[in-house]
């Protein structure tokens, strides 16, 4: 199917906020790729404005330096007698301790190195104790969650999905009421929404759940890199987070929390390293964390994540908060000043959201807006349903929306550039022609070159094309 952009444009826009105050705000930390130039359809090249941090954050420069430092030391882990094997084992276990300390692990907590938040929550889903009658332990989850903190509980059985209310107070009241109806083993809740950056007050959720005899797992994917978090201080039982959202590449994440469930739970992978003794008649399994880390571990990924944790921990929390809050406030105010632009919110009384802002442009396909921002302004955002289908449906965005997100590598100039680009789209419309190819918006006859040696034969203006978009399951509802 091919469709051309049909953009009707108002000619006058008024009430724009003064963005000059944030235009010169610098990044807090250096990230790899901050000076990367990307081509535009008009033949120019501009520095890439990465406002898709909520999906995957760029690597910190200090993380890249650490990876370069440890790569010559890379060898087998845990079962090698050679010198470099011993060094790699020490590096891996030291990284584990750093990762746990970063989220305030208690003395008896376990840190399991995983692939990402999704991996961590799937692992924990296999460790929730069954009821006395053998049925799956009950898990209560809200409909505000993205799929990583929803699908594992649905698949494991015993999950109840509770619709959030219009306010934080109403949502907490609903949580309290539901927990009084049945004995729940676990409450799974987001630390910060990957759609709006909003959150429920963790202390209130923990108190309500613990009073009802349930444990709490926090999806920290968006919270941990942006605000910091402590298991010990919050009394949360488990936290899951991802390295790729914490400025560390190489596919490592973590599940950190109370030992008893992890020691007794079904081993996440069956294989070497997770066992004490194997015979043809049966297997004796290790306790956690080895119980859930079968196979050769991702030592470079763990080292990268540990380096990112160290870099973020060294920041003054006040500086981190002010930087992100300032950029987010400017982004929201700037977007809301553009006629026809609506910023998405879950709760009317949410406070202190992280730097994730989702918006829509009335009458315009989110995929087209995102393709335009990339092709004509060199800005990276995310469009679609952000793997949070139930929430987007409840809020009335079945066709998706556009998400901009900031982090420690974001500058005020990046935010100003996005706001001005959206304003230009509304006032003037695209300067080039776009078409829908295999369900995704793309530049018609795209003239932009691809990086030399990349092996790519084409460049797509949106995150995925064709069957990839369907596989991602984050496009408009069909």
Measured between alpha carbons, how far apart are the two ends of the chain, in Å? Answer: 15
Residues 6 or more apart whose CB falls under 8 angstroms from that of 405 comprise 51, 52, 53, 54, 55, 197, 355, 356, 357, 382
Main-chain dihedrals φ then ψ at residue 47, nearest 5 degrees: -60, 135
Secondary structure (DSSP) of 249-310: -SS-EEEEEEHHHHHHSPPSS-STTSEEEEETTEEEEP-TTGGG--SS--HHHHHHHHHHHH
- 3-state secondary structure (DSSP) of residue 47: strand
Among candidates 36, 95, 55, which has minimal Cα distance to 300?
A: 95
Burial of 326 (0-12, 13-18, 19+ CB in 10 A): middle
**What span, in angstroms and rounded, lies between the C-alpha atoms of 386 and 54?**
10
Q: Which DSSP symbol is given to 4? A: B
Give one word for 93, left, alpha or beta, with left for phi > 0 and alpha for psi -120 to 50: alpha
- Cα 3 to Cα 302, 438, 439: the distances in Å are 45, 11, 10
Q: Which DSSP symbol is given to 147? A: G
| Residue 9 annotated as catalytic | no
Residues 6 or more apart whose CB falls under 8 angstroms from that of 451 comprise none
- Residue 390, Cβ neighbours under 10 Å: how many? 18
**What span, in angstroms and rounded, lies between the C-alpha atoms of 478 and 476?**
6
Q: Which DSSP symbol is given to 120? A: H
**What span, in angstroms and rounded, lies between the C-alpha atoms of 8 and 428?**
9
Question: For residues 418 and 373, is the Cβ–Cβ distance under 8 A?
Answer: yes
Residue found by looking up tokens 């984050």 in the block: 474
Sign of CA dihedral 343, 417, 382, 145: negative
- 3-state secondary structure (DSSP) of residue 241: strand
Q: Which helix (H) or strand (E) holds 425?
A: helix 412-428
Secondary structure (DSSP) of 50-83: E-BTTT-PPPBHHHHHHHHHHGGG----SS--SH
Catalytic residue among 309, 387, 440, 474: 387
Query: Catalytic residues, which ones?
Result: 387
């Amino acid at each position: 199917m091919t469709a051309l952009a049909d953009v009707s444009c108002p000619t006058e826009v008024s009430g724009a906020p003064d963005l000059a105050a944030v235009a010169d705000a610098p990044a807090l930390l250096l990230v790899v790729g901050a000076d990367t130039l990307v081509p535009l359809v008009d033949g120019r090249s501009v520095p890439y404005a990465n406002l898709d941090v909520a999906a995957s954050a760029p690597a910190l420069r200090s993380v890249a330096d650490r990876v370069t430092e440890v790569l010559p030391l890379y060898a087998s882990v845990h079962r090698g007698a050679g010198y470099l094997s011993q060094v790699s084992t020490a590096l891996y276990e030291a990284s584990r301790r750093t990762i746990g300390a970063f989220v305030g692990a208690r003395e008896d907590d376990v840190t399991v190195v995983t692939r990402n938040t999704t991996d961590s929550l799937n692992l924990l889903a296999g460790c929730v104790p069954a009821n006395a009658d053998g049925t799956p332990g009950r898990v209560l989850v809200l409909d505000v969650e993205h799929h990583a903190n929803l699908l594992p509980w649905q698949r494991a059985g015993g999950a109840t999905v509770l619709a959030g209310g219009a306010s934080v107070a109403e949502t907490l009241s609903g949580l309290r009421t539901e927990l009084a109806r049945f004995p729940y083993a676990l409450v799974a809740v987001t630390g910060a929404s990957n759609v709006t950056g909003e959150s429920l007050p963790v202390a209130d959720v923990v108190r309500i759940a613990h009073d009802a005899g349930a444990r709490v797992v926090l999806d920290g994917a968006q919270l941990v890199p942006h605000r910091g978090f402590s298991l010990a201080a919050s009394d949360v039982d488990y936290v899951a987070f991802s390295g790729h959202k914490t400025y560390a590449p190489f596919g490592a994440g973590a599940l950190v929390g109370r030992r008893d469930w992890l020691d007794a739970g079904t081993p996440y992978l069956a294989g070497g390293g997770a066992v004490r003794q194997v015979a043809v008649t049966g297997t004796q399994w290790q306790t956690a964390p080895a119980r859930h880390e079968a196979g050769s571990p991702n030592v470079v990924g763990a080292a990268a994540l540990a380096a990112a944790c160290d870099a973020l921990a060294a920041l003054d929390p006040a500086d981190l908060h002010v930087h992100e809050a300032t950029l987010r406030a400017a982004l929201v105010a700037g977007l809301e000043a553009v006629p026809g632009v609506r910023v998405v919110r879950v709760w009317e009384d949410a406070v202190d959201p992280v730097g994730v802002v989702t918006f829509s442009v009335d009458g315009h396909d989110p995929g087209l807006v995102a393709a335009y921002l990339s092709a004509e302004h060199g800005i990276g955002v995310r469009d679609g349903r952000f793997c949070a289908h139930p929430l987007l449906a409840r809020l009335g965005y079945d066709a998706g929306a556009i998400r901009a997100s900031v982090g420690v590598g974001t500058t005020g100039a990046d935010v100003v550039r996005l706001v001005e680009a959206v304003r230009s789209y509304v006032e003037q419309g695209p300067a080039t022609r776009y078409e829908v190819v295999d369900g995704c918006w793309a530049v018609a006859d795209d003239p932009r070159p691809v990086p030399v040696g990349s092996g790519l034969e084409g460049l797509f203006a949106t995150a995925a094309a064709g069957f990839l978009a369907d596989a991602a399951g984050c496009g408009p509802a069909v």
